[in-house]
Chains A and B, each alone.
Chain A
């Protein structure tokens, strides 16, 4: 019978009073009214701590000596904070294999991102604003390719790269990432470019501007938000990739994910390398995450269907 519910219509139900024959709310409801918000906040804190715990644990473990890590759990730092040391990081930064592979990650990720953005934007512009026969079919093809799993292409592409003599090279990894990044890039940017007011382009065309100029001066500046999101998504996608590197890169050209995966064969004894290495590899994505949060969220949400 009671219309009282948690936290609603408070003006009808001042705390602790029962007016107009309305039955005084039961003890549970009164409890919830008073403490409901606090309980929710507590729940939120618990969930937050629970979600942070895995990463936090790895962070602490990466700051303890391997002797400590094999003797006791990372949580003992709360009682003995003196265990914390930067030695593992110092060691890892001396470790040529790890440093080189981090650099390889950069060498793979930056060109892959730039190329996808550039080729994607050019293609998207053509599909949005240039007239040619078969354009709509081409766009359907691009949309169809978005969900294609990379597994369908890795064996044939390995043969193609071998025939070209670049199998195992960084350029092969980049080429594959670009090819598989393009369908989504074109799709995303084309839809965004379509929303550019037609008048703007027409005005530029009547003024005799070349397509390339229109593209650079009109389309790119207006399409900036979409390009930023795409770039961030593509950047993270490539930075975090393992499979493509495993298939197409030799050990010398391996990115950090590949190098760390090698260490996983004996996890507990290599924890002093794997922990700091994993954190160094996370550093860039986390900076991107906190610095460009809005673009980041949009980029991830937009690209998650890939």
Chain B
């Protein structure tokens, strides 16, 4: 159950083949064909030279037939369904949306100016800058981590598994992870509970002052309608707290009995089942405990702060000369934090990139692991003998030695990211697709998703093709150099 591609068995130079055949052709002491001195030598392989010319000619006719038979079907498919369409798309990109007339570079101009396609190009740029580098870095970290653990096969399997499932399944998975409702999306559930651990949620959000009561709204909180003097009990009536949010420790409200200083009560002026008069503390009405109450002096400065008790009472025994304005500050009533809108317009691209990282980190890890396994042990030993610590060894020996592998991973991921389509299409809700769109997705939306503008769609396809062109040339150059 090991997941490490063993360079010594199976198809050999696999890691190299991700960006096409670095070692594959020239692998071994000269590919067999090259050892024989290039093409054309097969008919005289040092075998019987006595074969007559007619036989050779028959043989060559037969070979031509064989070539047609062997290569024909593949070639036809490639020419008809891949090569010809490239030319056709290029042609379409200079024509109007329905292909009826020549429009010059209009589609290309529109591509770089219209807001949706520009958004797509910019988003793709963000993708290319962020995703490959983060994935490669994580892959390196995971590879080093698993290398240092003895039983790492399970972790490797877990990290690599997302590669097996479709972008659609991954998109479904992350729709759930990113769900905005903290009772459904695990990420928001975590964010909310962390948030609430630091900022305790208010108990009384959404309540209102009793009309005609002694409270008026003020800066998201409430304050007494006018200044009050010590000795006059203050009755602060609130309404609109649903029964299930009444604190369990709340006791029946009691009107202040009088005492030193400024006293009052904050209560829910609502009797269940009706009855009770507005503005008076009736039987069956509960006090609102743990409410912050401030006494504000004439100049607007807060001179005292207290909290209500279980029956909703509060007292400022030291305030003897008034008047004061009593205020219930806004933090009693702050709306609860409902989590982050991950799939909303602002965060959608980072959110989709997050899912992409989840999918591809294992891929990078496996490639880097193979690279690490091939490192010369002596170099590491020597560095350690010279007194380099782990970090120094990693930074100055390991990383430079695996740099070629890291480059391969980066290039591979860059090509992959340029073509990213399914994940964005599935994970971004309809309402965020304009903000999440990338070139490949926009090409589809413009051409098939209702727009039917084949001209603009083809221009986007040509752009995509142009962007992967360097990778194509890189592959060909490598091939030529190797053979």
Contacts and interface: CB of A to CB of B under 8 A. Distances in A.
Interface of A: 3, 5-9, 40-41, 43-44, 47-48, 51-55, 57-58, 61, 69-75, 119-120, 122-123, 125-128, 130-132, 135-136, 138-157, 160, 175-176, 178-180, 182-183, 186-188, 191-192, 194-198, 202, 206, 211-212, 215, 225-226, 229, 236, 239-243, 246-247, 257, 260-261, 264-265, 267-268, 271, 274-275, 278-279, 281-282, 285-286, 288-290, 293-298, 300-302, 304-305
Given A152-B85, A187-B21, A142 B173 contact: no
Interface of B: 1-6, 10-11, 14-15, 17-21, 24-25, 27-28, 31-33, 35-36, 39-40, 42-43, 45, 47, 63-64, 66-67, 69-71, 73-75, 77-78, 80-86, 88-89, 92, 142, 145-146, 148-149, 152, 154-155, 157-169, 171-177, 179, 181-186, 189, 358, 362-363, 366-367, 384, 387, 389-390, 412, 415-416, 418-419, 421-422, 425-426, 429-430, 440, 443-444, 447-448, 454, 457-458, 460-462, 464-465, 468, 471-472, 475-476, 479-480, 483
B267 to A, nearest CB: 32
Contact of A132 (B4, B33, B63, B157): B63
A160 B165 contact: no
Contacts of B185: 73
A198 B36 contact: yes
A39 to B, nearest CB: 11
Given A188-B17, A195-B28, A302-B11, A151 B440 contact: yes
Nearest to A197: B32
Given A52-B158, A143-B475, A148-B86, A239 B18 contact: no
Contact of A47 (B4, B142, B182, B366): B142
A128 B32 CA distance: 10
13 contacts: A41-B149, A55-B161, A122-B69, A143-B21, A144-B476, A151-B440, A153-B89, A154-B461, A156-B84, A194-B31, A195-B32, A215-B70, A304-B18
A9 B173 CA distance: 46
A119 B73 contact: yes
Contacts of B15: 301
A304 B416 contact: yes
A301 B80 contact: no
Contacts of A176: 81
B21 to A, nearest CB: 6
A288 to B, nearest CB: 7
Contacts of B415: 147, 305
A43 B387 CA distance: 27
B47 A206 contact: yes
A70 B184 contact: yes
A280 B432 CA distance: 28
Contacts of B421: 151, 242-243
Contacts of A192: 11, 24
Contacts of B27: 195
Nearest to B454: A155
Contacts of A275: 172, 176
Contacts of A156: 84-85, 88-89, 92
The A contact surface, by secondary structure, is: helix
Contacts of A6: 389-390
A305 B19 contact: yes
Contact of B169 (A44, A126, A278, A294): A278
Contacts of B164: 236, 282, 285-286, 288-289, 296
B426 A264 contact: yes
A143 B166 contact: no
Contacts of B43: 131
A295 B164 CA distance: 12
Contacts of A225: 10-11
Contact of B74 (A123, A247, A286): A123
A301 B367 contact: yes
A297 B1 CA distance: 12
